[in-house]
Amino acid sequence: MPTASSKKILMVLTSHEDLGGTGQKTGFWVEEFAAPFYVFKDAGADITLASPKGGQPLIDPKSADPSAATEATRRFDGDPDAQKQLANTVKLSDVDASAYDAVFYPGGHGPLWDLTNDTVSIGLIETFYTSGRPVGAVCHAPAVLLKAKTTDGEPLVKGRKVAGFTNSEEDAVGLTDVVPFLLEDALQEKGGAYEKGPDWGSFAVTDGLLFTGQNPASSEAVAHNMLARLG
């Protein structure tokens, strides 16, 4: 079995910045990037960061608040190399999918607007999945799976166990009427076998090549599950 140190992992971040019509900013949730990033990095994996627009994606300001800090986010705050890598994400359309062993999508509300509908991202997911390589997503990022299809034209999530941000968690953050759709409902509408645990607790689900997690607290578990699959 190859070791994790020989693995190349692509992490795809949102480029979307506006939180609906609220006038507030969104982006990606820094914990959901930092925790998996260091899980992969500490296992010796080679990580490439990409986003639809390339360059610096926006960290959701709420996730950068000291009250939301975790061990992983504090490590990132003190890691100039990781910050430089994040500031220079590769443009998604320039990514060669064949160069990577797995793809992982951090959440935050941003992906609901851009990556869900991004044809490059959808094609990337379908390529990874049909070629037998793991696809991971956490919190709001399982939205990126909604328009992906299997080779027979069925929704990728149909009949497969998936997790993602719950309706009750969305209600708790007061954004039920702001987001373009509720992820829990959307995954079920596509035929996904949606599963969830208690709000805000770590809950990660694996079904074959799909690795999903419910919320920020689940991001590390999803990354560990993917690493286990990669050997």
CB 102 within 8 A of CB 230: yes
Q: Is the pLDDT of residue 5 over 90?
A: no
Q: What is the mean pLDDT of the chain?
A: 96
Among 31, 32, 126, 139, the active-site one is: 139
pLDDT tens-digit readout, 83-132: 999 999 999 999 999 999 999 999 999 999 999 999 999 999 999 999 99
Among 109, 140, 184, 220, the active-site one is: 140
DSSP assignment of 91-156 equals: EGGG--GGG-SEEEE--SSHHHHTTTT-HHHHHHHHHHHHTT--EEEETTGGGGGTT-B-TTSSBT
Bridge-based pairing state of the strands 161-162 and 193-194: parallel
Q: Is the pLDDT of residue 47 over 60?
A: yes
Among 31, 126, 170, 184, the active-site one is: 170
**224 catalytic, yes or no?**
no
Structure tokens at 22: 């609220």
Tokens 């409902």, located at residue: 185
pLDDT for res 2: 40
Q: Read off the pTM.
A: 0.97
Q: Is the pLDDT of residue 1 over 90?
A: no
**139 catalytic, yes or no?**
yes
Domain 4-230 fold is Rossmann fold (3.40.50)
Alpha helices in the chain (DSSP H): 30-42, 71-77, 80-87, 110-113, 119-130, 167-172, 183-189, 219-230
pLDDT average, residue stretch 197-222: 98
Extents of the domains making up the chain: 4-230
